[in-house]
Structure 1
């Protein structure tokens, strides 16, 4: 399933606007996004759609789109590596894209290519979640959709569930979560919720937070990332909201995985948020293993927009190594 129809409704060109409509802007993050106070939305990123395809070649990958909840339109794109044998079990990754909770898509070229590259590098099954976006669907809907999608993936663990690729190839004793930017905050929330509610039949091994967006009472301010949070979640209490401020999250010490990897970039405006998450998690009493890796000289989500550079390839290899690490630390 793609959100082509949805995008055609939300992506409006200025030339088609009625002359009588308001031009007052509610939120913008140019050159990617603009929302008006009358409810109109312009998205300039994440609305393109790469069609799913079956590629049996050993060096490639195959994709399919699945509907998780028909009533809400919750969908996902599933990836498997080429050359996989019938019944072969490999780790499964659930991926949550970034975009401030108001833009981005598993089906757009940027995220399709990134997840596909990770699938090929790590040889894993991946489920890239198409959670609903603000402002049409304000947070916490993105978090709610993300949890429903994770439960749907886990429902295949004992040979049940509707998706054959997951039943046949996913090793549910090696489940991982990953996400970038605001998707990193979703990963934290899903891991925390799994620690409290559980995922029966599944072993959630690790969580990968790539240049994650978090807020803090002291560090939050008027930057675009913080304005994006207030825009995406109008009912929030602010920057002390535990969904976006882990220091206020009572679930932090109960994370439902055994390993966490945090990737930050030296020149990222929100680099300090990732460092703070690392320190806060270390001091929380959580008994898992947390590591942090910094890419020198790069900005926020550089790997998405320059995926062929040496540092982006190194980041991809770090993610793959984290997923494929054997118990005891060996690769």
Structure 2
């Protein structure tokens, strides 16, 4: 397709560019990879599930004892609501490593991307997966349910996590689940990695990709401006990870301060990795700091496994 700068209608570099003919050009990402179920060489198995307008990649340790129950993690990828994929090599490898490190079951959500699918599409897709996961809570064996979750997910230990925009989505899924009887009845913890939240400054990208924006203080974008909602956050504990050189660092700090001051009754911890950029752990997964953050998150999700390893 031979398009030039004069054909550009909206430019949101480094994420995407929209041309006058409606074509969307994305700039960041890594190639998608298939799930893996090689029993001979892999420590972690994976498979894909289609769920309404969304889909998910499930991860499980290769070796699980019969009837053994493991903590369940629901993970949401980042990418400014508009790029990247749960099926990319970066996220596939990250979730595989996290499952191996922490000995958990994981569900990594693939949602529709803006701008072709404006917000709230990504929120609705994530919640559709949440509701599908919740159907396994009674241990039934109905059509459409997955045996990995039925047999090995501990629904008394459910965690949500995400990075960047995925952290925003994860926070909002906890808020939404708390007010919806069809959702997960109990969420133990929330992990926000370099979260993308707003503040009082104009949010041009958000306004462009959101079909029902409430402005800079939209509670989905800027939860720190809504202490009443934060005080009712439906989980027991929260871990916030920030990075010293991340332009979004102060958004995570503001969320932490607002949550502490809201009167919420849970436990919140914030840990900063000095000298690192936004989502550095995805680009340099073998670095010492990325490994340290992996161990931190693994011990938060499954402290029993961390204590025994």
Deviation (angstroms), 1:236: 1.1
Alignment check: 8 A CA contact 1:178 1:208 kept: yes
Provide the rounded CA distance (Å) in 2 between the counterparts of 1:51 and 1:58: 16
Over aligned residues, Cα RMSD in angstroms? 2.2
List alignment gaps of at least 5 residues for structure 2: none
Return the offset for 1:144. Answer: 1.2
**Residue 233 (structure 1) aligns with:** 210
Corresponding residue of 1:245: 222
Contact 1:193 1:251 in 2 (8 A): no
Q: Does 1:146 align with 2:126?
A: yes
TM-score w.r.t. the length of structure 2 is 0.91
Q: How far did residue 314 of structure 1 move? A: 0.6
Partner Cα distance (1:90, 1:151) in 2:
19
How many Å separate the matches in 2 of 1:324 and 1:272?
28
CA contact (8 A) 1:173 1:202 kept: no
What corresponds to 1:134 in structure 2?
A: 114
Per-residue CA deviations over 1:235-280 (Å, capped at 9, x if unaligned) read 3132111111113344211111000000000110010000000000
4+ runs deviating over 3 angstroms: 44-47, 198-202
Among 292, 302, 309, the alignment partner of 1:324 is 302
- Write out per-residue CA displacement over residues 131-185 of structure 1, whole angstroms, 9 at most, x where no aligned residue: 1110111001111111111111111011135111111111111100000001111
Q: Please state whether the residue corresponding to 1:264 is helix, strand or coil.
A: strand
| Helix, strand or coil at the partner of 1:76 | strand
Q: What residue number does 2:293 align with? A: 315
Alignment partners' CA distance in 2, 1:269 and 1:323: 27
CA distance in 2 between counterparts of 1:304 and 1:102 reads 17
Cα distance change of structure 1 residues 37 and 227 upon mapping to structure 2, 3 Å threshold: farther
Q: 2:234 aligns with which of 244, 251, 256?
A: 256
- Separation of aligned partners in 1, 2:37 and 2:64: 13
Once the two structures are superposed, residues 191-234 of structure 1 have per-residue CA deviations (whole angstroms, 9 ceiling, x without a partner) of 111222256674310000000011111xx24xxxx433223214
TM-score by length of 1: 0.86
TM-aligned CA distance change 1:106 to 1:18, over 3 Å: same
Aligned mates of 1:330, 1:145 — CA distance in 2: 35
1:59 is displaced (CA, Å) by 6.0
Q: Is the Cα–Cα contact under 8 Å of residues 59 and 82 in structure 1 kept in the other structure?
A: yes
The whole-number CA distance in structure 2 between the counterparts of 1:76 and 1:117 is 17
Q: CA 1:110–1:25 in structure 2 vs 1: closer, same or farther (change >3 Å)?
A: farther
- Aligned counterparts of 2:257 and 2:302: Cα–Cα separation in 1: 25
Asked whether the equivalents of residues 207 and 213 of structure 2 are also in contact (C-alpha less than 8 Å), the reply is yes
